[in-house]
Amino acid sequence: MRQFTRWLFLAVALLGAVGGQADDLSAAVGDRVTVLTLQGPINPVAVSYVDRGLSLAESQGAVAAVLRLDTPGGLDSSMRAITQRILNAQVPVFVYVAPAGARAASAGAFITLAGHVAAMAPNTAIGAAHPISGQGEDIAGTLGEKVTNDAAAYIRSIATERGRNAAWAEEAVRKSVSITEQEALSLGVVDFVASDVPSLLAQADGRQVQVQGQNVTLRTRDATTVPAGMNAFERFVAAISEPNLAYILLSIAMLAIYLELMNPGAILPGIVGVIALLLALFGLGNLPFNYTGLLLIGFAFVLFIGELFLTSHGLLAVGGVISLALGSTLLMAGNPVYFRVSPWIIGTVVGSFAAFFIWVVAVIIRDRLRRPMTSQENLVGRIGVVRSDLNPEGTVLVASELWSARTDQPPIPAGREVRVLRVEGFWLWVMTIEQALRAPEEPAALPAGGREALPAPQDDATTSDTASSSR
């Protein structure tokens, strides 16, 4: 009996130890803090990232989520989407303006005030939240008043909800005031000044916040931080949504498609051009851009293509370069600096296009001066490229000139090389090089009437009789 009691006590002790270890393990798994890092302009990519990061924290049962923020501002629609996501989060959200030297300007001020806990690192700033237009200018008149009043009411409601200085928040919108981290702490704009995330979690430990209408006591001192950076797709979208890269992709698309049209059937330039164009348009969709600038760039492309098919002696190319320069300048004109294309990149792209078309036009003019292509003897035997399918009529490019052409062979698709057999008026009769090698020699030229004007062939007897009678 005594032995049975001893074994029972040992079993209970063991179960208690295991249960205690299980509780400790559960606490270790649950006591985690998800750390997001958001740097750069507030745009749709930032919205997607913050939403995914907070959803991850909620699904994993994190005790809190920390959003490290460093932004010059961004789009109003994206800012409102992020603040709404934070206000409706199912876990406490710490918005932490960091690292040293970071800022929460414009849209960043709204996001910081929306956090359940707001904190700043040393040597940081917050404020300057006055709304501006998509072109970076003040919004004048009644519309400007409406937008400003709406933004002021919105930031005041957020600050009041979080128990922060609503009067200063309104001034940040109406007067664009900006303050340091120590001023923000003394004015009740933020809750803490912390040198790093562990310091922030230690200071916030034991604080009560409201999450989904419920009081929650923070237990973050010994929590494990789990970074949740942007995934590969988000980083890719963020990269192509950068104004300089979006503009470069648009330029690459124009050049690649132009090269494909110059050399039909090359395939690779066409594939690269279409992919670059779609990526550029996707990137521009995440940015505030001027439609007039985009249309001017598109018109420049049309003029460049026209230079391929029309004899303008370079005038179309000159017009294209001018249109490209104007469109590039207007594309992001007036935007805040973080939504603009670098003037150096614009100058490089426009200068490169100008140099390229100067070379193209010079080659065409030199070729035309060296070998006139209007005489029949200079056309026969030349190699050309089919521009539009010959079935049986179409067009071919011979020595930089576009001609109407015919063939009496099976249809010849665009992109195939052909040899000029003869000229009939303004028509070239052509045949593929393979067919020409197999075919008997054709006369260099025919009378104006074509084949019908040639004398009918005669047999040997007729020829002999004719010869005899003439003697």
Q: How far apart are CA 188 and CA 202, in angstroms?
A: 19
Is there a catalytic annotation at residue 77? no
Is there a catalytic annotation at residue 146? yes
Q: What is the DSSP string of 200-265?
A: HHHHHTT-EEEETTEEEE---TTPEEEE----HHHHHHHHHTSHHHHHHHHHHHHHHHHHHHHSTT
Lowest mean per-residue pLDDT among 209-218, 226-235, 306-315, 452-461: 452-461
- Does pLDDT of 412 surpass 50? yes
CB atoms within 10 A of CB 167: 10
User: For residue 201, which amino acid is it?
Assistant: L
Q: Which residue among the candidates 146, 186, 195, 464 is catalytic per the annotation?
A: 146
pLDDT score, position 97 = 96
Q: What confidence tens digit (pLDDT) does each residue in 113-150 have?
A: 999 999 999 999 999 887 765 554 555 567 767 888 88
Q: What confidence tens digit (pLDDT) does each residue in 325-358 have?
A: 999 998 888 777 778 888 999 999 999 988 888 8
| Average pLDDT score over residue span 250-271 | 87
| Average pLDDT score over residue span 168-183 | 93
| Structure confidence at residue 80 as a pLDDT band (50, 70, 90) | very high
Evaluated on CA atoms 103, 107, 108, 110, the torsion sign reads positive
Evaluated on CA atoms 327, 328, 331, 334, the torsion sign reads negative
Lowest mean per-residue pLDDT among 1-15, 218-232, 379-393: 1-15
b/e sequence 234-273, b meaning 16+ C-beta within 10 Å: beebbebbbbebbbbbbbbbbbbbbebbeebeeeebbebb
Strand 93-97, strand 64-70: pairing:
parallel
Residue with the bigger pLDDT between 180 and 408: it is 180
- Does pLDDT of 378 surpass 50? yes
| Structure confidence at residue 169 as a pLDDT band (50, 70, 90) | very high
pLDDT score, position 220 = 92
3-state class of 441 per DSSP? coil
pLDDT score, position 421 = 87
Lowest mean per-residue pLDDT among 50-54, 140-144, 227-231, 330-334: 140-144
Backbone angles phi, psi at 126, to 5 degrees: -145, 145
Backbone angles phi, psi at 467, to 5 degrees: -65, -40
pLDDT score, position 138 = 54
pLDDT score, position 65 = 96
| Structure confidence at residue 265 as a pLDDT band (50, 70, 90) | confident
Q: Which residue among the candidates 48, 78, 106, 328 is catalytic per the annotation?
A: 106
Q: How far apart are CA 463 and CA 446, in angstroms?
A: 23
Residue with the bigger pLDDT between 465 and 210: it is 210
Residue 121 and residue 96 in contact, taking contact as beta carbons nearer than 8 Å = yes
- Does pLDDT of 207 surpass 90? yes
| Structure confidence at residue 371 as a pLDDT band (50, 70, 90) | low
Residue 360 and residue 317 in contact, taking contact as beta carbons nearer than 8 Å = yes
End-to-end CA distance of the chain: 152
Q: What confidence tens digit (pLDDT) does each residue in 14-39 have?
A: 434 434 333 333 333 448 999 999 99
pLDDT score, position 462 = 40
Virtual torsion, Cα 338, 343, 345, 350, nearest 10 deg = 140
| Structure confidence at residue 310 as a pLDDT band (50, 70, 90) | confident
What's the whole-number average pLDDT of the chain?
81
